[in-house]
Structure 1
Amino acid sequence: MATAGSTKGRGRNKRRLIVHLGVQKTGSTGIQRHLHRNAAALADRLILRTPDEGSPMRPLGRAAVHYSLKPSNDSATALAIAFEAVLADLPGNDLPVLLSHENLAGAMPGNGGEIALYPALPNILQIILKSASGFSTDFVVYTRNMARWKASVWAQAVRTDGYTRPEDQFLNETAAMPGWGDLMRRLSEVAGSDRVTRFKLEDEAQDGHPGRQLLRHAGLDDASIDALEALDGQANRRLSQSSTEFLRRLNGMALNPHARGKVVDLVARNQHLFTADAPSEGTL
Protein backbone atom coordinates (compact mmCIF):
# COMPACT_ATOMS: atom_id res chain seq x y z
CA MET A 1 0.00 0.00 0.00
CA ALA A 2 1.26 3.47 -0.88
CA THR A 3 2.19 5.81 1.92
CA ALA A 4 2.24 9.58 2.12
CA GLY A 5 5.24 11.39 0.72
CA SER A 6 7.91 12.68 3.02
CA THR A 7 7.74 16.07 4.67
CA LYS A 8 11.36 16.73 3.66
CA GLY A 9 12.47 16.98 7.25
CA ARG A 10 9.95 19.64 8.23
CA GLY A 11 7.59 19.08 11.13
CA ARG A 12 7.94 15.31 11.19
CA ASN A 13 5.36 15.05 13.97
CA LYS A 14 2.85 17.25 12.17
CA ARG A 15 0.12 16.05 9.87
CA ARG A 16 0.95 16.65 6.22
CA LEU A 17 -1.18 19.17 4.30
CA ILE A 18 -0.77 19.51 0.53
CA VAL A 19 -2.46 22.55 -1.00
CA HIS A 20 -3.00 22.37 -4.75
CA LEU A 21 -3.42 26.01 -5.79
CA GLY A 22 -4.36 25.35 -9.41
CA VAL A 23 -3.90 27.70 -11.17
CA GLN A 24 -7.00 28.17 -13.33
CA LYS A 25 -6.96 26.61 -16.81
CA THR A 26 -4.21 24.10 -16.02
CA GLY A 27 -6.38 21.01 -15.78
CA SER A 28 -7.73 21.61 -12.27
CA THR A 29 -11.30 20.58 -13.08
CA GLY A 30 -10.17 17.19 -14.40
CA ILE A 31 -7.89 16.67 -11.42
CA GLN A 32 -10.70 17.45 -8.99
CA ARG A 33 -13.18 15.20 -10.80
CA HIS A 34 -10.65 12.37 -10.65
CA LEU A 35 -9.99 12.95 -6.95
CA HIS A 36 -13.71 13.12 -6.16
CA ARG A 37 -14.44 9.93 -8.09
CA ASN A 38 -11.73 8.06 -6.17
CA ALA A 39 -12.16 9.57 -2.72
CA ALA A 40 -13.50 6.35 -1.24
CA ALA A 41 -10.71 4.27 -2.78
CA LEU A 42 -8.11 6.61 -1.31
CA ALA A 43 -9.78 7.13 2.06
CA ASP A 44 -7.37 4.89 3.96
CA ARG A 45 -4.33 6.73 2.56
CA LEU A 46 -5.30 10.31 1.78
CA ILE A 47 -8.00 12.76 2.88
CA LEU A 48 -9.26 14.73 -0.12
CA ARG A 49 -11.01 18.08 -0.22
CA THR A 50 -12.25 19.59 -3.50
CA PRO A 51 -14.79 22.38 -4.17
CA ASP A 52 -17.89 20.17 -3.99
CA GLU A 53 -21.31 21.80 -3.74
CA GLY A 54 -22.14 22.63 -0.12
CA SER A 55 -18.63 21.99 1.19
CA PRO A 56 -16.50 24.56 3.07
CA MET A 57 -14.18 24.58 0.04
CA ARG A 58 -16.68 26.65 -1.95
CA PRO A 59 -16.64 29.71 0.34
CA LEU A 60 -12.87 29.29 0.69
CA GLY A 61 -12.41 29.80 -3.06
CA ARG A 62 -14.70 32.83 -3.05
CA ALA A 63 -12.82 34.33 -0.11
CA ALA A 64 -9.46 33.93 -1.87
CA VAL A 65 -10.70 35.62 -5.05
CA HIS A 66 -12.31 38.43 -3.04
CA TYR A 67 -9.12 39.00 -1.07
CA SER A 68 -7.01 39.11 -4.24
CA LEU A 69 -9.27 41.76 -5.81
CA LYS A 70 -9.84 43.78 -2.62
CA PRO A 71 -7.00 43.12 -0.19
CA SER A 72 -7.69 44.48 3.28
CA ASN A 73 -7.52 43.38 6.88
CA ASP A 74 -11.18 42.39 6.70
CA SER A 75 -10.83 40.29 3.53
CA ALA A 76 -7.65 38.68 4.91
CA THR A 77 -9.51 37.77 8.11
CA ALA A 78 -12.40 36.36 6.08
CA LEU A 79 -9.97 34.22 4.08
CA ALA A 80 -8.31 32.91 7.25
CA ILE A 81 -11.69 32.04 8.76
CA ALA A 82 -12.75 30.24 5.58
CA PHE A 83 -9.53 28.22 5.51
CA GLU A 84 -9.81 27.33 9.18
CA ALA A 85 -13.38 26.11 8.54
CA VAL A 86 -11.99 23.64 5.99
CA LEU A 87 -9.39 22.41 8.47
CA ALA A 88 -12.00 22.09 11.23
CA ASP A 89 -14.03 19.80 8.97
CA LEU A 90 -11.20 17.27 8.59
CA PRO A 91 -11.49 13.86 10.27
CA GLY A 92 -9.53 13.49 13.47
CA ASN A 93 -6.79 11.16 12.27
CA ASP A 94 -3.20 11.58 11.11
CA LEU A 95 -3.70 10.81 7.41
CA PRO A 96 -2.22 13.33 4.99
CA VAL A 97 -4.63 15.86 3.52
CA LEU A 98 -4.83 17.07 -0.07
CA LEU A 99 -6.80 20.27 -0.74
CA SER A 100 -7.40 21.21 -4.37
CA HIS A 101 -9.00 24.50 -5.41
CA GLU A 102 -7.78 26.63 -8.33
CA ASN A 103 -9.40 29.76 -6.90
CA LEU A 104 -7.01 29.66 -3.96
CA ALA A 105 -4.61 31.35 -6.36
CA GLY A 106 -6.91 34.38 -6.43
CA ALA A 107 -8.44 36.11 -9.42
CA MET A 108 -7.08 35.07 -12.79
CA PRO A 109 -6.33 37.71 -15.44
CA GLY A 110 -9.58 39.02 -16.90
CA ASN A 111 -11.50 38.67 -13.64
CA GLY A 112 -12.42 41.93 -11.96
CA GLY A 113 -9.89 43.97 -13.92
CA GLU A 114 -6.90 41.81 -12.96
CA ILE A 115 -4.11 41.86 -15.59
CA ALA A 116 -1.13 40.66 -13.53
CA LEU A 117 0.04 37.13 -12.71
CA TYR A 118 -1.55 36.40 -9.33
CA PRO A 119 -0.04 39.34 -7.43
CA ALA A 120 -1.87 38.44 -4.19
CA LEU A 121 -0.86 34.77 -4.13
CA PRO A 122 2.23 35.22 -1.92
CA ASN A 123 0.06 36.93 0.68
CA ILE A 124 -2.53 34.15 0.37
CA LEU A 125 0.22 31.63 1.12
CA GLN A 126 1.16 33.58 4.25
CA ILE A 127 -2.46 33.50 5.45
CA ILE A 128 -2.69 29.75 4.79
CA LEU A 129 0.59 29.01 6.56
CA LYS A 130 -0.50 30.95 9.61
CA SER A 131 -3.91 29.27 9.73
CA ALA A 132 -2.34 25.83 9.21
CA SER A 133 0.47 26.25 11.73
CA GLY A 134 -0.35 22.86 13.21
CA PHE A 135 0.31 21.11 9.89
CA SER A 136 3.36 20.42 7.76
CA THR A 137 2.15 22.36 4.72
CA ASP A 138 3.43 22.46 1.17
CA PHE A 139 2.01 23.88 -2.04
CA VAL A 140 1.61 22.61 -5.60
CA VAL A 141 1.14 24.77 -8.69
CA TYR A 142 0.44 23.45 -12.18
CA THR A 143 1.53 25.61 -15.11
CA ARG A 144 0.96 25.52 -18.86
CA ASN A 145 2.58 26.98 -21.96
CA MET A 146 2.02 30.70 -21.38
CA ALA A 147 0.65 31.57 -24.84
CA ARG A 148 -1.87 28.72 -24.76
CA TRP A 149 -2.72 29.49 -21.16
CA LYS A 150 -3.52 33.14 -21.91
CA ALA A 151 -5.80 32.19 -24.80
CA SER A 152 -7.66 29.74 -22.57
CA VAL A 153 -7.87 32.22 -19.70
CA TRP A 154 -9.39 34.84 -22.02
CA ALA A 155 -12.08 32.41 -23.18
CA GLN A 156 -12.83 31.39 -19.59
CA ALA A 157 -13.01 35.02 -18.44
CA VAL A 158 -15.56 35.68 -21.18
CA ARG A 159 -17.57 32.63 -20.17
CA THR A 160 -17.56 32.95 -16.39
CA ASP A 161 -16.47 36.47 -15.44
CA GLY A 162 -18.35 38.67 -17.90
CA TYR A 163 -15.18 39.83 -19.67
CA THR A 164 -16.02 42.10 -22.62
CA ARG A 165 -12.77 42.79 -24.48
CA PRO A 166 -11.65 40.86 -27.58
CA GLU A 167 -8.78 38.41 -27.33
CA ASP A 168 -6.21 40.64 -29.02
CA GLN A 169 -6.89 43.42 -26.53
CA PHE A 170 -6.59 40.99 -23.62
CA LEU A 171 -3.24 39.79 -24.98
CA ASN A 172 -2.03 43.38 -25.31
CA GLU A 173 -3.07 44.15 -21.74
CA THR A 174 -1.20 41.13 -20.41
CA ALA A 175 1.83 41.40 -22.72
CA ALA A 176 4.10 42.58 -19.90
CA MET A 177 3.14 39.67 -17.66
CA PRO A 178 6.25 37.78 -16.45
CA GLY A 179 6.67 34.03 -16.88
CA TRP A 180 5.86 31.26 -14.45
CA GLY A 181 9.38 31.37 -13.04
CA ASP A 182 8.63 34.79 -11.57
CA LEU A 183 5.53 33.46 -9.80
CA MET A 184 7.42 30.49 -8.39
CA ARG A 185 10.18 32.79 -7.15
CA ARG A 186 7.67 35.01 -5.34
CA LEU A 187 5.99 32.01 -3.73
CA SER A 188 9.31 30.48 -2.66
CA GLU A 189 10.34 33.75 -1.03
CA VAL A 190 7.30 33.48 1.24
CA ALA A 191 7.01 29.75 1.87
CA GLY A 192 10.54 28.47 1.16
CA SER A 193 11.59 26.62 -1.95
CA ASP A 194 11.12 23.24 -0.25
CA ARG A 195 7.43 23.98 0.29
CA VAL A 196 6.56 24.95 -3.30
CA THR A 197 6.42 22.45 -6.18
CA ARG A 198 5.67 23.20 -9.82
CA PHE A 199 4.26 20.66 -12.26
CA LYS A 200 3.77 21.28 -15.96
CA LEU A 201 0.44 20.33 -17.49
CA GLU A 202 2.29 19.19 -20.61
CA ASP A 203 3.98 16.47 -18.53
CA GLU A 204 0.65 14.91 -17.47
CA ALA A 205 -0.06 11.54 -19.07
CA GLN A 206 -3.27 11.49 -21.10
CA ASP A 207 -4.44 8.18 -19.65
CA GLY A 208 -7.62 9.07 -17.80
CA HIS A 209 -5.75 9.79 -14.57
CA PRO A 210 -5.32 13.60 -14.45
CA GLY A 211 -3.21 14.80 -11.56
CA ARG A 212 -0.79 11.88 -11.67
CA GLN A 213 2.12 14.18 -10.74
CA LEU A 214 0.10 15.57 -7.83
CA LEU A 215 -0.80 12.12 -6.56
CA ARG A 216 2.83 11.01 -6.79
CA HIS A 217 3.74 14.09 -4.75
CA ALA A 218 1.14 12.99 -2.19
CA GLY A 219 2.89 9.64 -1.87
CA LEU A 220 1.07 7.28 -4.26
CA ASP A 221 3.04 5.11 -6.63
CA ASP A 222 2.10 4.55 -10.28
CA ALA A 223 0.56 1.16 -9.61
CA SER A 224 -1.77 2.66 -7.02
CA ILE A 225 -2.74 5.47 -9.40
CA ASP A 226 -3.33 3.04 -12.26
CA ALA A 227 -5.71 1.08 -10.03
CA LEU A 228 -7.94 4.14 -9.54
CA GLU A 229 -11.09 4.58 -11.61
CA ALA A 230 -10.20 6.58 -14.71
CA LEU A 231 -12.15 9.55 -16.02
CA ASP A 232 -14.19 9.14 -19.17
CA GLY A 233 -13.91 12.22 -21.38
CA GLN A 234 -12.39 15.63 -20.79
CA ALA A 235 -13.41 18.23 -18.25
CA ASN A 236 -14.27 21.90 -18.78
CA ARG A 237 -13.83 21.95 -22.54
CA ARG A 238 -13.32 25.35 -24.07
CA LEU A 239 -16.29 26.66 -26.04
CA SER A 240 -16.01 27.15 -29.78
CA GLN A 241 -14.68 30.49 -30.97
CA SER A 242 -18.06 31.62 -32.29
CA SER A 243 -19.84 30.66 -29.06
CA THR A 244 -17.24 32.54 -27.05
CA GLU A 245 -17.66 35.59 -29.30
CA PHE A 246 -21.43 35.46 -28.80
CA LEU A 247 -20.96 35.46 -25.02
CA ARG A 248 -18.39 38.26 -25.20
CA ARG A 249 -20.93 40.48 -26.94
CA LEU A 250 -23.62 39.38 -24.53
CA ASN A 251 -21.38 40.51 -21.67
CA GLY A 252 -21.74 44.10 -22.89
CA MET A 253 -25.47 44.05 -22.20
CA ALA A 254 -27.08 44.94 -18.87
CA LEU A 255 -28.37 41.43 -18.15
CA ASN A 256 -29.42 40.14 -14.77
CA PRO A 257 -26.57 37.82 -13.62
CA HIS A 258 -28.99 34.93 -13.09
CA ALA A 259 -30.39 35.35 -16.58
CA ARG A 260 -26.89 35.59 -18.03
CA GLY A 261 -25.94 32.35 -16.31
CA LYS A 262 -28.88 30.58 -17.94
CA VAL A 263 -27.84 31.90 -21.36
CA VAL A 264 -24.25 30.71 -20.82
CA ASP A 265 -25.54 27.23 -19.96
CA LEU A 266 -27.77 27.26 -23.04
CA VAL A 267 -24.87 28.27 -25.29
CA ALA A 268 -22.58 25.62 -23.81
CA ARG A 269 -25.17 22.91 -24.47
CA ASN A 270 -26.01 24.11 -27.99
CA GLN A 271 -22.77 25.30 -29.55
CA HIS A 272 -23.84 24.06 -32.96
CA LEU A 273 -26.26 27.00 -33.12
CA PHE A 274 -23.33 29.41 -33.07
CA THR A 275 -20.80 27.62 -35.21
CA ALA A 276 -19.75 29.43 -38.31
CA ASP A 277 -16.49 27.66 -37.50
CA ALA A 278 -15.93 24.14 -36.21
CA PRO A 279 -15.96 23.63 -32.42
CA SER A 280 -12.60 24.33 -30.82
CA GLU A 281 -10.39 21.34 -30.08
CA GLY A 282 -9.21 23.06 -26.91
CA THR A 283 -9.84 21.00 -23.84
CA LEU A 284 -9.17 23.48 -21.07
Structure 2
Amino acid sequence: MAERGPAADGPGGARRLILHLGVQKTGTTSLQRFLEGNAAGLADILIVRTPRDAAVMRPLGRACIAYSLGPEKDLAVRLRVAFEDVLDALPAGPQTVLVSHENMAGAMPGNGGETRLFPALPRIVRLLDEVARERGFAAEFAFYTRRMTMWKPSVWAQAIRTDGYCGTRAEFDQATAALPGWGDLERRLGDVVGPGRLHRLRLEDETDPHRPGRQLLALAGVPAERQAALAPIAAPAMERLSEASTEFLRRLNKLSLAPPAQQKVVDLVSRAQDLFAADGPPKGTL
Protein backbone atom coordinates (compact mmCIF):
# COMPACT_ATOMS: atom_id res chain seq x y z
CA MET A 1 0.00 0.00 0.00
CA ALA A 2 1.39 3.41 -0.98
CA GLU A 3 2.06 5.93 1.74
CA ARG A 4 -0.75 8.46 1.93
CA GLY A 5 -0.10 12.15 1.60
CA PRO A 6 -1.95 14.90 3.44
CA ALA A 7 -5.73 14.63 3.51
CA ALA A 8 -7.72 16.48 0.88
CA ASP A 9 -10.84 17.70 2.65
CA GLY A 10 -12.48 14.61 4.09
CA PRO A 11 -13.65 14.47 7.70
CA GLY A 12 -11.24 13.31 10.38
CA GLY A 13 -8.17 13.83 8.21
CA ALA A 14 -9.21 11.18 5.70
CA ARG A 15 -8.58 11.57 2.00
CA ARG A 16 -11.72 12.41 0.03
CA LEU A 17 -12.99 9.66 -2.27
CA ILE A 18 -15.97 9.95 -4.60
CA LEU A 19 -17.39 6.71 -5.95
CA HIS A 20 -19.44 7.28 -9.10
CA LEU A 21 -21.76 4.27 -9.20
CA GLY A 22 -23.15 4.84 -12.69
CA VAL A 23 -25.87 3.65 -13.09
CA GLN A 24 -25.92 1.95 -16.49
CA LYS A 25 -27.41 3.89 -19.41
CA THR A 26 -27.13 7.28 -17.75
CA GLY A 27 -24.32 8.64 -19.92
CA THR A 28 -21.52 6.94 -18.02
CA THR A 29 -19.40 5.93 -21.01
CA SER A 30 -19.36 9.45 -22.44
CA LEU A 31 -18.57 10.88 -19.01
CA GLN A 32 -15.69 8.46 -18.56
CA ARG A 33 -14.29 9.27 -22.01
CA PHE A 34 -14.36 12.95 -21.04
CA LEU A 35 -12.62 12.22 -17.74
CA GLU A 36 -9.99 10.04 -19.40
CA GLY A 37 -9.19 12.67 -22.01
CA ASN A 38 -8.68 15.32 -19.35
CA ALA A 39 -7.16 13.27 -16.53
CA ALA A 40 -3.69 14.74 -16.96
CA GLY A 41 -5.02 18.29 -16.91
CA LEU A 42 -6.92 17.63 -13.69
CA ALA A 43 -4.23 15.63 -11.91
CA ASP A 44 -3.18 18.49 -9.65
CA ILE A 45 -6.59 18.48 -7.95
CA LEU A 46 -8.28 15.21 -8.95
CA ILE A 47 -7.12 11.63 -9.46
CA VAL A 48 -9.41 9.81 -11.89
CA ARG A 49 -9.94 6.07 -12.24
CA THR A 50 -12.24 4.61 -14.92
CA PRO A 51 -12.59 1.20 -16.63
CA ARG A 52 -9.74 2.27 -18.91
CA ASP A 53 -7.47 1.31 -15.99
CA ALA A 54 -8.34 -2.28 -16.80
CA ALA A 55 -5.84 -4.06 -14.55
CA VAL A 56 -7.61 -2.98 -11.38
CA MET A 57 -10.94 -1.60 -12.54
CA ARG A 58 -12.13 -4.54 -14.61
CA PRO A 59 -11.97 -6.94 -11.63
CA LEU A 60 -13.90 -4.39 -9.55
CA GLY A 61 -16.71 -4.15 -12.10
CA ARG A 62 -16.96 -7.89 -12.50
CA ALA A 63 -16.93 -8.45 -8.75
CA CYS A 64 -19.77 -5.98 -8.23
CA ILE A 65 -21.93 -7.68 -10.86
CA ALA A 66 -21.21 -11.14 -9.45
CA TYR A 67 -21.91 -10.03 -5.88
CA SER A 68 -25.20 -8.43 -6.90
CA LEU A 69 -26.40 -11.68 -8.49
CA GLY A 70 -25.25 -13.99 -5.71
CA PRO A 71 -24.20 -12.53 -2.36
CA GLU A 72 -22.28 -15.58 -1.19
CA LYS A 73 -19.43 -15.03 1.24
CA ASP A 74 -16.72 -15.78 -1.31
CA LEU A 75 -18.19 -13.19 -3.69
CA ALA A 76 -18.08 -10.60 -0.92
CA VAL A 77 -14.43 -11.44 -0.33
CA ARG A 78 -13.74 -11.15 -4.05
CA LEU A 79 -15.35 -7.71 -4.13
CA ARG A 80 -13.45 -6.56 -1.07
CA VAL A 81 -10.11 -7.64 -2.53
CA ALA A 82 -10.88 -6.03 -5.90
CA PHE A 83 -11.68 -2.68 -4.29
CA GLU A 84 -8.65 -2.87 -2.01
CA ASP A 85 -6.52 -3.33 -5.13
CA VAL A 86 -8.02 -0.19 -6.70
CA LEU A 87 -7.32 1.91 -3.62
CA ASP A 88 -3.86 0.49 -3.00
CA ALA A 89 -2.81 1.33 -6.57
CA LEU A 90 -3.62 5.05 -6.17
CA PRO A 91 -0.74 7.53 -6.03
CA ALA A 92 -0.08 9.22 -2.72
CA GLY A 93 -1.13 12.83 -2.42
CA PRO A 94 -3.77 15.21 -1.16
CA GLN A 95 -5.91 15.18 -4.30
CA THR A 96 -9.51 14.07 -4.20
CA VAL A 97 -9.99 10.67 -5.87
CA LEU A 98 -12.84 9.96 -8.29
CA VAL A 99 -13.53 6.31 -9.12
CA SER A 100 -16.13 5.79 -11.85
CA HIS A 101 -17.54 2.43 -12.92
CA GLU A 102 -21.15 1.86 -13.90
CA ASN A 103 -20.98 -1.77 -12.80
CA MET A 104 -20.50 -0.72 -9.20
CA ALA A 105 -24.30 -0.43 -9.25
CA GLY A 106 -24.56 -4.18 -9.78
CA ALA A 107 -26.64 -5.99 -12.37
CA MET A 108 -29.16 -3.85 -14.22
CA PRO A 109 -32.60 -5.20 -15.20
CA GLY A 110 -32.18 -7.80 -17.94
CA ASN A 111 -28.76 -8.99 -16.72
CA GLY A 112 -28.67 -12.45 -15.18
CA GLY A 113 -32.44 -12.56 -14.65
CA GLU A 114 -32.54 -9.35 -12.62
CA THR A 115 -35.85 -7.48 -12.88
CA ARG A 116 -35.60 -5.10 -9.91
CA LEU A 117 -34.00 -1.68 -9.46
CA PHE A 118 -30.48 -2.50 -8.24
CA PRO A 119 -31.58 -4.36 -5.11
CA ALA A 120 -27.99 -5.24 -4.14
CA LEU A 121 -26.59 -1.72 -4.44
CA PRO A 122 -27.05 -0.85 -0.74
CA ARG A 123 -25.07 -3.99 0.19
CA ILE A 124 -22.37 -3.08 -2.33
CA VAL A 125 -22.15 0.46 -1.02
CA ARG A 126 -21.91 -0.73 2.58
CA LEU A 127 -18.99 -3.01 1.72
CA LEU A 128 -17.17 -0.36 -0.36
CA ASP A 129 -17.63 2.20 2.39
CA GLU A 130 -16.15 -0.16 4.97
CA VAL A 131 -13.09 -0.86 2.81
CA ALA A 132 -12.61 2.85 2.10
CA ARG A 133 -12.57 3.68 5.81
CA GLU A 134 -10.06 0.93 6.48
CA ARG A 135 -7.80 2.40 3.80
CA GLY A 136 -8.02 5.95 5.20
CA PHE A 137 -10.58 7.43 2.80
CA ALA A 138 -13.73 9.41 3.44
CA ALA A 139 -16.11 8.02 0.82
CA GLU A 140 -19.00 9.78 -0.87
CA PHE A 141 -21.32 8.15 -3.37
CA ALA A 142 -22.80 9.65 -6.53
CA PHE A 143 -25.13 8.24 -9.15
CA TYR A 144 -26.86 9.68 -12.20
CA THR A 145 -30.50 9.07 -13.03
CA ARG A 146 -32.47 9.45 -16.24
CA ARG A 147 -36.19 9.71 -16.85
CA MET A 148 -37.64 6.22 -16.51
CA THR A 149 -39.56 6.53 -19.78
CA MET A 150 -36.22 6.99 -21.55
CA TRP A 151 -34.12 4.76 -19.33
CA LYS A 152 -36.05 1.49 -19.51
CA PRO A 153 -36.04 1.16 -23.34
CA SER A 154 -32.33 1.94 -23.36
CA VAL A 155 -31.66 -0.67 -20.67
CA TRP A 156 -33.62 -3.28 -22.63
CA ALA A 157 -31.57 -2.62 -25.76
CA GLN A 158 -28.32 -2.63 -23.78
CA ALA A 159 -29.20 -5.91 -22.07
CA ILE A 160 -29.61 -7.45 -25.51
CA ARG A 161 -26.34 -5.97 -26.71
CA THR A 162 -24.12 -6.86 -23.74
CA ASP A 163 -25.88 -9.34 -21.44
CA GLY A 164 -27.41 -11.92 -23.77
CA TYR A 165 -31.00 -10.94 -23.02
CA CYS A 166 -33.43 -12.38 -25.57
CA GLY A 167 -36.83 -11.10 -24.43
CA THR A 168 -38.93 -8.75 -26.53
CA ARG A 169 -39.56 -5.20 -25.42
CA ALA A 170 -43.07 -6.20 -24.34
CA GLU A 171 -41.69 -9.09 -22.28
CA PHE A 172 -39.11 -6.82 -20.67
CA ASP A 173 -41.75 -4.23 -19.83
CA GLN A 174 -43.93 -6.89 -18.25
CA ALA A 175 -41.03 -8.30 -16.21
CA THR A 176 -40.10 -4.83 -14.93
CA ALA A 177 -43.61 -3.46 -14.51
CA ALA A 178 -43.19 -3.18 -10.75
CA LEU A 179 -39.95 -1.18 -11.03
CA PRO A 180 -40.14 1.80 -8.63
CA GLY A 181 -38.92 5.32 -9.35
CA TRP A 182 -35.40 6.58 -8.62
CA GLY A 183 -36.55 8.00 -5.31
CA ASP A 184 -36.82 4.43 -4.02
CA LEU A 185 -33.15 3.73 -4.79
CA GLU A 186 -32.13 7.07 -3.32
CA ARG A 187 -33.94 6.26 -0.06
CA ARG A 188 -32.43 2.79 0.21
CA LEU A 189 -28.92 4.12 -0.36
CA GLY A 190 -29.52 6.99 2.04
CA ASP A 191 -30.39 4.53 4.77
CA VAL A 192 -26.91 3.02 4.37
CA VAL A 193 -24.80 6.09 3.67
CA GLY A 194 -26.43 8.65 5.95
CA PRO A 195 -26.84 12.38 5.36
CA GLY A 196 -24.41 14.40 3.27
CA ARG A 197 -22.58 11.56 1.56
CA LEU A 198 -25.05 10.53 -1.14
CA HIS A 199 -25.46 12.62 -4.28
CA ARG A 200 -28.13 11.99 -6.89
CA LEU A 201 -27.34 13.72 -10.18
CA ARG A 202 -29.80 14.03 -13.05
CA LEU A 203 -28.69 13.39 -16.61
CA GLU A 204 -31.25 15.90 -17.85
CA ASP A 205 -29.37 18.63 -15.97
CA GLU A 206 -26.21 18.09 -18.01
CA THR A 207 -26.15 20.97 -20.48
CA ASP A 208 -23.24 20.12 -22.80
CA PRO A 209 -23.10 16.66 -24.43
CA HIS A 210 -19.49 17.30 -25.44
CA ARG A 211 -18.46 18.02 -21.83
CA PRO A 212 -20.53 15.48 -19.88
CA GLY A 213 -20.36 14.89 -16.16
CA ARG A 214 -19.95 18.50 -15.12
CA GLN A 215 -22.22 17.99 -12.10
CA LEU A 216 -19.90 15.23 -10.97
CA LEU A 217 -16.81 17.37 -11.52
CA ALA A 218 -18.39 20.21 -9.55
CA LEU A 219 -19.07 17.77 -6.72
CA ALA A 220 -15.40 16.76 -6.88
CA GLY A 221 -14.37 20.39 -6.43
CA VAL A 222 -13.33 21.25 -9.98
CA PRO A 223 -14.04 24.99 -10.48
CA ALA A 224 -16.34 26.03 -13.32
CA GLU A 225 -13.55 27.84 -15.14
CA ARG A 226 -11.39 24.73 -15.09
CA GLN A 227 -14.28 22.67 -16.42
CA ALA A 228 -14.89 25.12 -19.26
CA ALA A 229 -11.25 24.78 -20.35
CA LEU A 230 -11.33 20.97 -20.56
CA ALA A 231 -11.08 19.34 -23.98
CA PRO A 232 -14.51 18.20 -25.23
CA ILE A 233 -15.31 14.75 -26.58
CA ALA A 234 -16.21 14.47 -30.25
CA ALA A 235 -19.57 12.77 -29.73
CA PRO A 236 -21.55 10.87 -27.10
CA ALA A 237 -20.48 7.24 -26.69
CA MET A 238 -22.38 3.94 -26.59
CA GLU A 239 -25.44 5.25 -28.39
CA ARG A 240 -28.31 2.81 -28.72
CA LEU A 241 -28.28 0.52 -31.74
CA SER A 242 -31.00 0.77 -34.36
CA GLU A 243 -34.19 -1.22 -33.88
CA ALA A 244 -33.26 -3.63 -36.68
CA SER A 245 -29.79 -4.24 -35.25
CA THR A 246 -31.20 -4.76 -31.77
CA GLU A 247 -33.76 -7.23 -33.07
CA PHE A 248 -31.04 -9.15 -34.92
CA LEU A 249 -28.97 -9.45 -31.74
CA ARG A 250 -32.02 -10.40 -29.67
CA ARG A 251 -32.69 -13.37 -31.94
CA LEU A 252 -28.99 -14.21 -32.03
CA ASN A 253 -28.97 -14.38 -28.21
CA LYS A 254 -31.35 -17.32 -28.37
CA LEU A 255 -28.65 -19.41 -30.07
CA SER A 256 -26.37 -19.35 -26.99
CA LEU A 257 -23.17 -18.88 -28.97
CA ALA A 258 -19.79 -19.09 -27.25
CA PRO A 259 -18.97 -15.68 -25.73
CA PRO A 260 -16.00 -14.91 -28.07
CA ALA A 261 -18.08 -15.60 -31.17
CA GLN A 262 -21.02 -13.68 -29.75
CA GLN A 263 -18.84 -10.64 -29.07
CA LYS A 264 -17.45 -10.69 -32.61
CA VAL A 265 -20.97 -10.57 -34.03
CA VAL A 266 -21.97 -7.76 -31.66
CA ASP A 267 -18.93 -5.76 -32.74
CA LEU A 268 -19.78 -6.33 -36.39
CA VAL A 269 -23.38 -5.24 -35.91
CA SER A 270 -22.27 -2.13 -34.01
CA ARG A 271 -19.90 -1.11 -36.81
CA ALA A 272 -22.19 -1.90 -39.74
CA GLN A 273 -25.77 -1.23 -38.72
CA ASP A 274 -26.74 -0.44 -42.33
CA LEU A 275 -26.53 -4.16 -42.98
CA PHE A 276 -29.61 -4.63 -40.82
CA ALA A 277 -31.72 -1.78 -42.15
CA ALA A 278 -35.22 -2.82 -43.14
CA ASP A 279 -35.66 -0.29 -45.96
CA GLY A 280 -33.01 -1.45 -48.40
CA PRO A 281 -29.33 -2.35 -48.92
CA PRO A 282 -26.49 -0.38 -47.36
CA LYS A 283 -25.48 2.88 -49.01
CA GLY A 284 -23.08 2.39 -51.90
CA THR A 285 -24.24 -1.13 -52.71
CA LEU A 286 -26.41 -2.44 -55.52
Band of TM-score, shorter chain: over 0.9
Is the deviation greater in 46-55 or in 235-244?
A: 46-55
Cα distance in 2 between the residues matched to 1:254 and 1:103: 23
Aligned residue identity for 1:18:
I
The 5-angstrom pairing of residues 240-259 of structure 1 reads 240-259=242-261
Cα distance in 1 between the residues matched to 2:224 and 2:12: 25
Alignment deviations for residues 105-128 of structure 1 (CA, whole Å, 9 cap, x no partner): 000000000000000000001100
Q: Post-superposition shift, 1:54?
A: 3.1
Q: Post-superposition shift, 1:254?
A: 3.0
User: Secondary structure at the residue paired with 1:90?
Assistant: coil
Cα distance in 2 between the residues matched to 1:97 and 1:277: 49
Aligned to 1:111: 111
Cα distance in 2 between the residues matched to 1:191 and 1:152: 28
Structure 1 112/17 Cα, relative in aligned 2: closer, same or farther at 3 Å?
Answer: same
Cα distance in 2 between the residues matched to 1:211 and 1:115: 27
Cα distance in 2 between the residues matched to 1:14 and 1:227: 29
Aligned to 1:193: 195
Query: Do the aligned residues in 1 keep the contact of 2:209 with 2:235 (CA within 8 Å)?
Result: no
Aligned to 1:3: none
Query: Do the aligned residues in 2 keep the contact of 1:241 with 1:277 (CA within 8 Å)?
Result: no
Aligned residue identity for 1:188:
G
Asked if residue 61 in structure 1 is aligned to residue 88 in structure 2, the reply is no
Aligned residue identity for 1:202:
E
Aligned residue identity for 2:78:
A
Structure 1 207/169 Cα, relative in aligned 2: closer, same or farther at 3 Å?
Answer: closer
Structure 1 108/181 Cα, relative in aligned 2: closer, same or farther at 3 Å?
Answer: same
Q: Which runs of 5+ in 1 are unaligned?
A: 1-5, 279-284
Cα distance in 2 between the residues matched to 1:98 and 1:106: 18
Q: Post-superposition shift, 1:233?
A: 1.1
Is the deviation greater in 10-19 or in 139-148?
A: 10-19
Alignment deviations for residues 3-28 of structure 1 (CA, whole Å, 9 cap, x no partner): xxx96xx6141100000000000000
Aligned to 2:161: 159
Aligned residue identity for 1:247:
L
Q: Post-superposition shift, 1:266?
A: 0.6
Q: Post-superposition shift, 1:249?
A: 0.2
Aligned to 2:204: 202
Aligned to 1:228: 230
Aligned to 2:185: 183
Cα distance in 2 between the residues matched to 1:263 and 1:68: 28
Runs of 4+ in 1 over 2 A off after TM superposition: none
TM-score (structure 1 length as normaliser): 0.93
The 5-angstrom pairing of residues 270-281 of structure 1 reads 270-276=272-278
Asked if residue 34 in structure 1 is aligned to residue 37 in structure 2, the reply is no
